[in-house]
Structure 1
Amino acid sequence: MSLGSRIFRREKIDRYLETDKKFAKTMSAFDLIALGIGAVIGTGIFILPGTVAATKAGPGTILSFVFAAVVCSFAAMCYAEFASAIPVAGSAYSYGNLVFGEIIGWILGWALILEYVLAVAAVSTAWGAYFKSFMTGFHVNIPASIVGPLDPAHGSYGNWIAIIIVLFISFMLSRGMKASVRLNNIIVVVKIAIIILFIIVGAFYVKPTNWHPFMPFGMKGVFAGSAAVFFAYLGFDAVSSSAAEVKNPKRNMPIGIIGTLIIATILYVGVSIVLTGMIRYTNLNVADPVSFALQVVHQNWAAGIIALGALAGMFTMMVTMIYSSSRLIYSIGRDGLLPKFLGKLDKNGNPIHSLVTITIVIAILGGFVPLDQLTNLVNIGTLIAFLAVSVGIIPLRHNKEIENNQGFEVPFYPVLPIISAILCLAMLTQLPAETWIASIIWFGFGLILYFGYGMRHSRLNDPNNVD
């Protein structure tokens, strides 16, 4: 077999379904939406509407969020069809293996590892700093030496609060998804309630004159704002990682993925409408525009509630991403491209080895490594996955193993998947050069790992598994 034939071998859908049926199927459509909202709605909802209004779009930021949601919805529908047709763990990694071949699946898996690990590590660092600030309001002083970068020469010994929260979330997930989902759902409801509270309170202080001019920077500003807020929606794709643990995935996966995007859009647009109505957009270029707006109208009592909402937002985001990354690592280990012990489930149907492994990596990065310059890599990893899933709908429709898919299908096929792929390419071109350089290094290391280990240990070396 030639090298080209070997690296483009495709997995069998039946084997994935057979292996992943060991997962406990406990999740409903509501659980999926809560996971998705947990990932998508973070601290950004309290910051982006203000800063984008001030610097790019004015009150037209409202339209910016709508346009960004439309772009994301194309990719979301492609994910929904894949998750409905192929309810397996691993998200875009598994989809790539099935429709493109092993090397493409590996690249997508490597991109998703980059997305999940860096996203959680960066947010855990921010959570530690935010928690310290929050506790100061209760006159509890957490030493700065344990909530900062590792720099012993200057009395800083790492962000131990970040490490503790990552370990706590992983412990929670290790107890099983049923209990974890219940807690996540409660915190998501609290988070949404806090956002709605701001919208209701702020609505009483809206002055319609603040919406004029509505588009001070023209449509160009609205589209620039749309590009800036596009990344606020990233995270809904993590929902697809849970497909193997969902009751009635053909019905519930599309509801979870598309429902997440619709609810997130309503919340982002609602905050944007109220915020730009409360305060003149030119005054919103501050670090915490929502808290600032409440202070201007003398509603200081709500500032602490907003801080609690920010902590809740970061917490649920970490829950979803740690959960998704453990399923991703499990999927790659299941296929032999990483050590096979990572692809094992315990007696309760939890991928405990992959969860422990990814927790250690995230805790070290979040606790001791400065990530400020690396967070843009989250965007490139996500967009590469979006691009592949969008294009992948075409070979998926021609796959004879699933020709009787009776679940969700992308409308206006093949036009909509092609438009989605083009939009993803356009967004990739907007990323800075240093992001591309760092990603090339990351993917270069990944290819070395694949050719040095993964290709030789792949389960596709077993003739019974070859498509």
Structure 2
Amino acid sequence: MGVASGAAIFFWTWDGFMRMAIMAGEVKEPRRTIPVAIIGGVTIAAIMFIGAAAVTLGVLGADEVGAQDTPLLAAALKAIGPWGKWVILAGAIVAALAEILGDMLSASRVVLPMAEAHELPSWLGKIHQRSRTPRRAVIGLGLLSASAALIFDLRPLIEVGGSFMLVWYFITHYAALNLPIRKRHYPAIFSWYGIVGCIGLTIAMPHAAVLAAVGTLTILTLARLALHRLHPQRRSA
């Protein structure tokens, strides 16, 4: 259960491979490109994760890894010396910047259709004429994310964020089951496998985080229903 709980909490670290699917509307030859990108992305990430874990365990040992908040940094200091710390820090900074840019890119493409469907303020869905990108959505998300990171300690929300992602993936797999057979890339068994996996990881997730995510989603759903009742034109749009 410890391994399952860890996999559930850090499930969000695998979110990168879904960006290509989110960007499908801007991809040339999506039927060929998206499967290669997703499978390749998952494979590369698995090799990197397993490799880093194996090296860290080999240098420090399991007991010392468990006692560390920053095991990669400790392993670098022990194996390489003082300058190994700067190698790890430089890699962490580059990884953080790449993650920020990737998340901003994909999240803005989620905001865009939601704004076009009047689920979010319509001004967020405006496309810049020269760059042909949803600039307002990118700027809005950037300001919101930067403000939250500067004001709050977001680490306690990792588990809640992971719960949200499991809900998102569950809905995605369920939606894939409703696709016509001619539009599917793979058999329905993959979607069922994903649904079972999401349920299993949700069970392994700390219950407080799951309850917080469910409560937040319930409040937002009720607010959305109330908004549609007050403004019926949004629903028709």
| 1:273 paired residue number | 54
In 2, Cα distance between equivalents of 1:221 and 1:453: 42
- Is residue 22–residue 110 contact of structure 2 (8 Å, CA) maintained in 1? yes
- Give the Cα separation in 2 of the matches to 1:357 and 1:224: 33
The equivalent residue for 1:350 is: 133
- Partner of residue 409, structure 1: 185
- Aligned match for 1:367, one of 150, 165, 168: 150
**Code of the aligned partner of 1:389:** T
Of 338, 342, 352, the residue aligned with 2:120 is 338
The answer as to 2:212 corresponding to 1:442 is no
2: CA distance between counterparts of 1:373 and 1:454?
33
Is 1:257 the counterpart of 2:32? The answer is no
State the Cα distance separating 1:225 from its structure 2 match. Answer: 5.7
Q: Identify the match of residue 161 of structure 2 among 378, 383, 387.
A: 378
Alpha-carbon contact 1:329-1:342 (below 8 Å) kept: yes
In the superposition, relative to structure 1, how do residues 357 and 337 fare at CA in structure 2: closer, same or farther (>3 Å)? Answer: same
Partner of 1:461: 236
Question: Once the 2 structures are TM-superposed, how far is the Cα of residue 318 of structure 1 from its aligned partner?
Answer: 0.9
In 1, distance between residues paired with 2:55 and 2:94?
A: 21
Structure 2 partner of 1:43 = none
Within-5 A mapping of 1:60-139: none
Change (3 A) 1:369 1:425: same
Shift of 1:345: 0.8
Residue number among 89, 105, 127 corresponding to 1:323 in the alignment: 105
- SS of aligned partner of 2:112: helix
Match of 1:313 in 2: 95
Checking the alignment, whether the CA contact within 8 Å between 2:124 and 2:137 is kept in structure 1 is yes
In 1, are the aligned partners of 2:8 and 2:202 still within 8 Å (CA)? no
CA contact (8 A) 2:5 2:205 kept: no
Distance 2:86 2:113 in 1: 41
Shift of 1:396: 0.5
| 1:232 partnered with 2:232 | no
CA-CA distance at 1:330 after TM superposition: 1.1
* C-alpha distance in 1 between matches for 2:227 and 2:5: 43
C-alpha distance in 1, partners of 2:136/2:8? 38
Asked if structure 1 preserves the Cα contact closer than 8 Å seen for 2:116 and 2:125, the reply is yes
Partner deviation per Cα, 1:53-81 (whole Å, 9 max, x = no partner): xxxxxxxxxxxxxxxxxxxxxxxxxxxxx
2-structure distance, mates of 1:373, 1:260: 28
Residues 380 and 428 in structure 1, CA contact (< 8 A), matched pair in contact too? yes
1:301 to 83, 101, 104: 83
Residue in 2 aligned with 1:427?
Answer: 201
Please say if residues 4 and 201 of structure 2, whose CA atoms lie closer than 8 Å, have aligned partners that are also in contact: no
* Structure 2 residue aligned with 1:288: 70
Matched residue SS, 1:378 = helix
- Take 2:90 and 2:84, find their aligned partners in 1: how far apart are those partners? 10
Distance 1:381 1:338, change over 3 A: same
Pairwise CA distance, 1:416: 2.4
Distance 2:110 2:32 in 1: 22
Letter of the 1:251 counterpart: R
Question: As a proportion of its length, which structure holds more helix?
Answer: 2
Q: Which one-letter code corresponds to 1:426 in the other structure?
A: G
Q: Quick one: structure 1 residues 226 and 327, their matched pair in 2 at CA, closer, same or farther if it must change by over 3 Å?
A: closer
Instruction: Give TM-score scaled by structure 1 length.
Output: 0.46
CA distance in 2, matches of 1:227, 1:357: 29
Q: Distance in 2 between matches of 1:429 and 1:374?
A: 18
Divergent runs of 4+, >6 A: none
| Counterparts of 1:437 and 1:226, CA distance in 2 | 18
Distance 2:92 2:9 in 1: 20
Do the aligned partners of 1:377 and 1:435 also contact (CA within 8 Å) in 2?
yes
In structure 1, give the amino acid aligned to 2:193. Answer: I
- In structure 2, how many angstroms separate the alpha carbons of the residues matched to 1:229 and 1:447? 26
- 1:223 deviation in Å? 5.5
TM-score between both structures, scaled by the size of structure 2: 0.86
Q: CA-to-partner distance for each residue in 1:105-138, whole Å, 9 max, x for gaps?
A: xxxxxxxxxxxxxxxxxxxxxxxxxxxxxxxxxx
Partners in 2 of 1:265 and 1:379 — Cα distance?
A: 19
Q: Retained in 1: the 8 A contact 2:76–2:88?
A: no
Q: CA RMSD in A?
A: 2.4
Q: Secondary structure at the match of 1:234?
A: helix
Distance (whole Å) between structure 1 residues aligned to residue 151 and residue 5 of structure 2: 35
CA distance in 1, matches of 2:97, 2:226: 37
CA distances 1:221-249 after superposition (whole Å, capped 9, x unpaired): 76666556544323322332211222222
Structure 2: runs of 5+ lacking an equivalent? none
